[in-house]
Amino acid sequence: MPQMNMLQAINSALDISMSEHPLACIFGEDVGHFGGVFRATSGLQEKFGKHRVFNTPLTEQGILGFANGMAAAGAPAIAEIQFADYIFPAFDQIVNESAKFRYRSGNEFNVGKLTIRTPYGGGIAGGLYHSQSPEAYFAHTPGLKLVVPRNAYQAKGLLRACIKDDNPVIFFEPKRLYRASVGEVPEGDFEIPLGKAEVVSQGSDVTVLAWGAQMEIIEQAAKMAKSEGISVEVIDLRSILPWDVETIAQSVRKTGRLVISHEAPITNGFGAEIAATIQEECFLHLESPITRVCGLDTPYPLALEKEYIPDALKVLSAIKNSVHF
Amino acid sequence: MPQMNMLQAINSALDISMSEHPLACIFGEDVGHFGGVFRATSGLQEKFGKHRVFNTPLTEQGILGFANGMAAAGAPAIAEIQFADYIFPAFDQIVNESAKFRYRSGNEFNVGKLTIRTPYGGGIAGGLYHSQSPEAYFAHTPGLKLVVPRNAYQAKGLLRACIKDDNPVIFFEPKRLYRASVGEVPEGDFEIPLGKAEVVSQGSDVTVLAWGAQMEIIEQAAKMAKSEGISVEVIDLRSILPWDVETIAQSVRKTGRLVISHEAPITNGFGAEIAATIQEECFLHLESPITRVCGLDTPYPLALEKEYIPDALKVLSAIKNSVHF
Amino acid sequence: MTNPNNVSLNISHELSFIGAHALDIPTVSLLNSDGTLHSDATDPNIDQDTALRIYKTMRFIRALDERMQAAQRQGRVSFYMQCLGEEAAVTASAAALKDDDMIMAQYREQAALRYRGFTLEQFMNQMFSNKEDLGKGRQMPIHYGSQELHYMTISSPLGTQIPQATGHAYSQKVPHIDASTGELSSEINNVTMCYFGEGAASEGDFHAGLNMAAVHKAPVIFFARNNGYAISTPADEQFAGDGIASRGVGYGIKTIRVDGADALAVYAATKEARALSVKTGEPILIESIAYRLGAHSTSDDPSGYRSKEEEANNTDCPIARFKRFLLNQGWLDEAQDDAEDETLREEILNALKVAEKIEKPPLEDLISDVYDTPIPSLQRQYDALKEHIKAHPQAYPVTAGRIK
Amino acid sequence: MTNPNNVSLNISHELSFIGAHALDIPTVSLLNSDGTLHSDATDPNIDQDTALRIYKTMRFIRALDERMQAAQRQGRVSFYMQCLGEEAAVTASAAALKDDDMIMAQYREQAALRYRGFTLEQFMNQMFSNKEDLGKGRQMPIHYGSQELHYMTISSPLGTQIPQATGHAYSQKVPHIDASTGELSSEINNVTMCYFGEGAASEGDFHAGLNMAAVHKAPVIFFARNNGYAISTPADEQFAGDGIASRGVGYGIKTIRVDGADALAVYAATKEARALSVKTGEPILIESIAYRLGAHSTSDDPSGYRSKEEEANNTDCPIARFKRFLLNQGWLDEAQDDAEDETLREEILNALKVAEKIEKPPLEDLISDVYDTPIPSLQRQYDALKEHIKAHPQAYPVTAGRIK
Ligand SMILES: Cc1ncc(C[n+]2csc(CCOP(=O)(O)OP(=O)(O)O)c2C)c(N)n1
Ligand SMILES: Cc1ncc(C[n+]2csc(CCOP(=O)(O)OP(=O)(O)O)c2C)c(N)n1
Ligand SMILES: [Mg+2]
Ligand SMILES: [Mg+2]
């Protein structure tokens, strides 16, 4: 199997998707000839033509409005938002339109063919507006699916599933890993099912859960914990909506403990939903409170980013507190 | 004390605020001569002039952009979004701008003088787009304050506090109660502090928590529970951000049980944050899982609204399940 | 414009500003108020069938609007919006399209849907959100939609359909593009028709939709209904340019302004716009000028914000004008028309009585269509709700009896 | 326009479209490339002090840009954006303002801030996000701001400052309105200056900001920097109208297009715009045409998206042109100027070396300014963080030693 980094894996998933459907289009700011500011769409305009892979004017609400209309016409619409921090001008088109299109029309119309790709997350000295992890803003919206890959392999398989899924999906790409995550990825087509978490490594003392770039951090914390004699079950949630309650609950029934970690600010992040649901599902099995290790409740900082982020040391302390409660 | 309905109470708070500061302005769609589609700003243009109380063009992002600029200039900017369902085009201006203005500038600039008023909530046969309760979408945003009054008295006192507070605040008005909630409200100025929940009635078996229009529902459920011998402590959260962890935790430490109810869809609603925090704060005191009685995870429906809403019967069952766990 | 900044290249050494209203934009009108063509007007040569179809659609909508306005006053429906004054703008523009051109409307365009053949029963079922409603009873009255008739279901948030129409139209163009040259290889089959009010044109989505359509040459017709008001907000508190038409040049979009109470002018302009658009792919902006003769909706009373004088000066009925044209042409028998109108009004009342008695959608429809298939958490919520309703059937009379 | 639809009233009976580029918009240029005034040009009669202040600002910014671009290549700062080619557009427009007119810029307008007196140290402290940075080290390099200098802190999301500038300007007008007549009772003290790129002008916020300014007559100058590119996207994939200036008429805003590499033209146009605006309250749109001579930022390489030929055809240096003017006027001594430039470049390097060594902001600044005072939950998070850092000082070397 060839080695690919995450950008190559994404590019490959896009390439296959464009070949699959003659009406499929990829569009967004700078995605055309330039191939996107991170080069995820590199080479695709040359291959599929300027009419199918193109730059848009600089308007996120327009990109999503355009994408909704294209998807409503039955064509796969693959829209890129250059940074997840800039998805908010499109919030109305996503939350009030994409998510509600099928329901409000009684299934006369739908935008199931819509996929939104957007790089998210911190750790790149990006400050307030090149670091946000806005998944929780969308998680309160029935009608959307939300997916976050943790590495190159997952990125290709999950993105293909997102594009083929008949619902509007937002695919959050951990930009810190774009070039850093390299691994074996099949050249050909494959899919990883949406809505299923993955137990990345088994353990018995505590369940630790994250998604996307944060997986690297919790895996590191799990290793540190192991050296202190704590056995951690590491889970990658992968899909935020729908999310895999059963896999998490099963793990927590076994370990009796849960630590959730995400980069976004703690208050009303998606960790809140997981904690709320799991304390109910596993009430009689919990041996310590469910803990969240997350970003602080501030905008994303720059100079003090290291202090801000939920790093492995912070996750490790939470693991220890949970086990020694 | 005079009797006022909630609209009159709001109007009175606005009137006092406009008199207080010569640069204060009220603006939004149809708020001018017409006095707003619900008439909350009725009579104010006549009193303070067309230059201080005025209609805007139909653009929510513009209203909030304009409001941010005015507040940054040091003038109290009181913006109305006609329905909370239409606040999403302004999401970027609120979440990326208002909330981060002070932080990103190192306090060189701030929009503390911004207040956003918007009618929210269901129960008025409004369907998808005249019924939403979007508070949780904003609750994940450090820098904002969020406030919801439950009756006319609270509306006046809290709105005055919002306008005087030196941070951007969203004031969600339960439109179902605009005319229905009538009570004694002081003619003159008074304030109710932000960030403080109120124990509306004391009880010992279970704590039931809500905010805004949903308070009426849980009070009704508490009465029904009482007739079945269950003693309910009823709490009005009042402020979503910052929220009063201490008052809730204290109550739950006493009752050992918590039921949270809100109109918005359950997944990642603000109930999730409360449950996540309280299971951690009160882990050793909880005698049953924290339960949420909320809207279903669908867009807000019309014909089957009665089935959809978290009504008193559903809250009552949750209370009973919690007590008999 | 072949320079990097994409601007015209004439240089001036004199400091002078372009006037705030530098364009002179006329309103195209073809029919006199007496139903005769202006002497110097371009005759659009409308055929008798089309003309009668337009007329009957307008007459139907007027009757429906009057009946439903009254029904709302009686408390039989919760909400209604009339098209009064804008029937010609909507109907004649829809008539200039092919019946399978997608229409993406705002909400006051029921006449376009009727023109396509939406039945009286379908209108009623939607307004009573009963189980026969194509929309499954989920939206407020007047939020119609029909896949079969290529009429996108109405969405309340204003302006959102504008960039959507651009994307929709663009997608229809894609198969007609020669990948090697980037040029059109054939005429495009369909345009997308996008209606919106002069109020909604203030939304950011308007800007995005028109700009993207111009840049990407999407075959979309932007039909701005300037009826003078957005609820209570008059047009001069909505914009300071010369109507909506003055914006066309800012996007590089060919534009025309028409008298929206003149069915012939609207028909002719839209037909020409469509012909241009399918040939070149380019979007066209049409601004229709007609006064909103009625209230914004049943929730409002315009006497609170507009004067009796203004209302008295603006009473132009587009149906009456077009009727005079038809009578002049000898295409209409007035007595027969009156009789048909009478019958129609009875049919409407009867249909209303039928629709209001049809039961509401079943409980399943509370959760279907959120996704293509319900996700597990929603299915669990639904199962719990079913149990709850079964335990308290008296509290949920609409659905309790029908739960399986 | 005194009719309910707020449109001009001329009627036409002929079906014809307004052309997509119906306006003829010239570019105002005053200075020849040799630094002489065009023979038929309006002389703005700039005074020597202002001219020299403009020149020295431009020279400073050019030196700073070159130094910081290199510093980024050396890995000393993470990011930088040059103003190359647009120095005259930014500096001369700022020079036409009063120093206490608020400037709300996009990010490439460091020259305006320098013109106001932002010190070399202040620039450096921001770029190194050290504890002396007015912004407390929270934003990426080049996100400057200064309350004292009336320069609103830069915000990365594009276009957001446009409607904000409208609201800000409107608020400055309020005290000058006579409540009884609604008219201005005196000249307005200040305008608000709003800079943005031709790319950002595609955002919905642009539409909202300009429309609201026109309707509410807010004294704001919209200064569109059309430099041909938005990162890699060329202007002809950004809009299809004639530049940004063609949009003015759509909002009813007086508009002018200037040669942005011509400091005199920019100065004259902005001065005139300001004078109009403080008198009437009305907004003005200025489009500046200048080519982005450099890369978008240090993160990009334009050779991937624009041709060598194009770059070779666009090399107009605004500083050189203005320098020739100054020399012609006899206001500048070239040898002295060269020497000053030399010294300046050394000062910049030294300041960089100082700033990069100043320590980062203290831990408190991680949570201050989220609110006016920290809310309880954030205070708890902070306390926990402090304990954590105290327990692991080696992992947080930047702050650990300074925690109280
Ligand atoms: C985004 C959004 N904001 C506000 C509203 C509330 N609203 C409904 S109709 C309307 C006025 C629309 O006026 P216009 O576009 O001129 O259409 P008309 O009613 O005149 O046909 C408003 C403000 C809405 N539906 N959507
Ligand atoms: C809302 C938003 N979308 C996207 C971006 C990413 N971005 C930063 S600069 C830029 C191009 C801006 O071009 P233009 O407005 O022409 O200004 P210029 O760089 O040419 O001065 C883009 C797309 C952003 N900062 N904000
Ligand atoms: Mg209107
Ligand atoms: Mg540019």
pLDDT in tens, D290-327: 999 999 999 999 999 999 999 999 999 999 999 999 99
Predicted ipTM of the assembly: 0.98
- Provide the total of helices (H) and of strands (E) in chain B, helices listed first: 12, 14
CB contact under 8 A, B137 and A137: yes
Whether chain B has a CB inside 8 Å of the CB on D369: the answer is yes
Chain C residues touching D245 at Cβ < 8 A? 7, 18
Q: How far apart are CA B24 and CA B40, in angstroms?
A: 17
- For residue D242, how far is its CA from the centre of ligand 4 (angstroms)? 15
Task: Examine the residue annotation and report whether B287 is marked as an active-site residue of this protein.
Answer: no
Q: How far apart are CA A222 and CA A202, in angstroms?
A: 11
Residue of C nearest to D265 (CA): C15
| The two three-digit tokens of residue A259, written as one number | 């630590």
∠ at Cα A233 (A230, A239), nearest 5°? 150
Chain C residues touching B88 at Cβ < 8 A? 157
Residue C376, SS3 per DSSP: helix
C323 — pLDDT class (breaks 50, 70, 90): very high
Residue of B nearest to D139 (CA): B104
Q: How far apart are CA D283 and CA D267, in angstroms?
A: 17
Q: How far apart are CA B39 and CA B37, in angstroms?
A: 6
D271 touches D265 (CB < 8 A) = no
Question: Please, which residues have CB within 8 angstroms of residue A279's CB and are 6 or more apart in sequence?
Answer: A286, A290, B275, B276, B279, B289, B290
Question: Please, which residues have CB within 8 angstroms of residue D47's CB and are 6 or more apart in sequence?
Answer: none
From start to end of chain B, where are the E strands? 3-5, 25-28, 53-55, 77-80, 114-120, 145-147, 169-174, 182-184, 198-201, 206-210, 232-236, 239-241, 258-265, 291-295
**What does the pLDDT read at residue C404?**
79
Strand order across the D284-289 sheet: C11-12, D27-28, D254-259, D284-289, D220-226, D192-197, D102-104
Share of chain D above pLDDT 90, in %: 95
- Where does chain A have alpha helices with state H? 6-20, 44-48, 60-72, 91, 101-104, 135-139, 152-164, 214-227, 245-255, 270-281, 305-308, 312-323
D110 touches D142 (CB < 8 A) = yes
**What does the pLDDT read at residue D116?**
98
What DSSP state is assigned to residue D176?
G
Tell me which residues of chain B, numbers 1 to 60, contact chain A at a CB-CB cutoff of 8 Å.
Answer: none
The whole-number average pLDDT for the span A276-302 is 98
CB contact under 8 A, B62 and C204: yes
Calculate the alpha carbon distances from C98 to C112, C174, C186, C193 in Å. Answer: 12, 19, 17, 10
CA distance C141 to chain D (A): 27
| The two three-digit tokens of residue C301, written as one number | 């009373």
pTM of full prediction above 0.95: yes
The whole-number average pLDDT for the span A252-267 is 98
**What does the pLDDT read at residue A112?**
98
Whether chain B has a CB inside 8 Å of the CB on D353: the answer is no
Among candidate residues C169, D259, C387, the one with its CA nearest the CA of residue C396: C387
A299 pLDDT higher than 80: yes
- Beta-bridge mates of residue C197: C225
**What does the pLDDT read at residue D24?**
87
**What does the pLDDT read at residue D404?**
79
Measured between CB atoms, which of B57, B72, B89 is closest to D152? B72
D192-197 and D220-226 beta bridge pairing: parallel
Average pLDDT of every residue of chain B:
98
**What does the pLDDT read at residue A265?**
98
Q: How far apart are CA B212 and CA B202, in angstroms?
A: 19
From start to end of D48-181, where are the E strands? 102-104
- For residue C173, how far is its CA from the centre of ligand 3 (angstroms)? 31
B319 touches B310 (CB < 8 A) = no
CB contact under 8 A, B296 and C365: no
CB contact under 8 A, D366 and A298: yes
D42 — pLDDT class (breaks 50, 70, 90): confident
Q: How do residues C87-141 score in pLDDT, each as one tens digit?
A: 999 999 999 999 999 999 999 999 999 999 999 999 999 999 999 999 999 999 9
Among candidate residues C151, C33, C39, C34, the one with its CA nearest the CA of residue C100: C151
Residues found in chain A: 325
C1 pLDDT higher than 80: no
Share of chain B above pLDDT 70, in %: 100
- Beta-bridge mates of residue B3: B184
Q: Which atom of ligand 2 is nearest to the CA of D230?
A: 13
The whole-number average pLDDT for the span C270-296 is 98
State the count of interchain CB pairs (< 8 A) between B and D.
Answer: 172
**What does the pLDDT read at residue C2?**
80
Q: How far apart are CA D5 and CA B191, in angstroms?
A: 44
A245 — pLDDT class (breaks 50, 70, 90): very high
**What does the pLDDT read at residue D276?**
97
Among candidate residues B256, B257, B292, the one with its CA nearest the CA of residue B273: B292
The whole-number average pLDDT for the span D106-113 is 98
Q: How do residues A151-195 score in pLDDT, each as one tens digit?
A: 999 999 999 999 999 999 999 999 999 999 999 999 999 999 999
- For residue D81, how far is its CA from the centre of ligand 2 (angstroms)? 12
In terms of pLDDT, which residue wins out, C19 or D68? D68
- Beta-bridge mates of residue D99: none
Of all protein residues, whose CA lies closest to atom 11 belonging to ligand 2? D230
D269 touches D288 (CB < 8 A) = no
Task: Examine the residue annotation and report whether A21 is marked as an active-site residue of this protein.
Answer: no
CB contact under 8 A, A127 and D138: yes
A206-210 and A258-265 beta bridge pairing: parallel
Pocket of ligand 1 (CB under 6 A): B 29, 58, 60, 82, 86, 89; C 108, 156-158, 197-200, 225, 227, 229-231, 292, 296
Question: Please, which residues have CB within 8 angstroms of residue C132's CB and are 6 or more apart in sequence?
Answer: C121, C125, C355, C358
D2 — pLDDT class (breaks 50, 70, 90): confident
| The two three-digit tokens of residue B96, written as one number | 């990326």
| The two three-digit tokens of residue D237, written as one number | 């994939």
Q: How far apart are CA C289 and CA D8, in angstroms?
A: 11
Among candidate residues C262, C256, C261, C259, the one with its CA nearest the CA of residue C31: C262
D72 — pLDDT class (breaks 50, 70, 90): very high
Question: Please, which residues have CB within 8 angstroms of residue D106's CB and are 6 or more apart in sequence?
Answer: D154, D158, D161, D195, D196, D197, D200, D225
**What does the pLDDT read at residue A278?**
98
- For residue B59, how far is its CA from the centre of ligand 1 (angstroms)? 10
Q: How do residues A82-137 score in pLDDT, each as one tens digit?
A: 999 999 999 999 999 999 999 999 999 999 999 999 999 999 999 999 999 999 99
Q: Which amino acid, residue D239?
A: F
- Beta-bridge mates of residue D386: none
Among candidate residues B207, D15, D127, B230, the one with its CA nearest the CA of residue A127: D127
The whole-number average pLDDT for the span A59-66 is 98
In terms of pLDDT, which residue wins out, D326 or C24? D326
The DSSP string of C281-317 is: ---EEEEEE----S-SSTT--GGGTS-HHHHHH----
**What does the pLDDT read at residue C42?**
84
Exposure on the CB side of residue A261, measured as CA atoms within 13 A: 31
Q: Among C12-16, C52-56, D115-119, which stretch is predicted with the lowest mean pLDDT?
A: C12-16
- Contact partners for chain D, using 3 or more CB pairs closer than 8 A, are A, B, C
**What does the pLDDT read at residue D310?**
94
Q: How do residues B246-283 score in pLDDT, each as one tens digit?
A: 999 999 999 999 999 999 999 999 999 999 999 999 99
Q: How do residues B65-103 score in pLDDT, each as one tens digit?
A: 999 999 999 999 999 999 999 999 999 999 999 999 999
**What does the pLDDT read at residue A164?**
98
Q: Among B206-210, C37-41, D192-196, which stretch is predicted with the lowest mean pLDDT?
A: C37-41
C24 pLDDT higher than 90: no
**What does the pLDDT read at residue D298?**
94
**What does the pLDDT read at residue C308?**
94
Q: How do residues B20-39 score in pLDDT, each as one tens digit?
A: 999 999 999 999 999 999 99
Q: How do residues D388-400 score in pLDDT, each as one tens digit?
A: 999 999 999 999 9
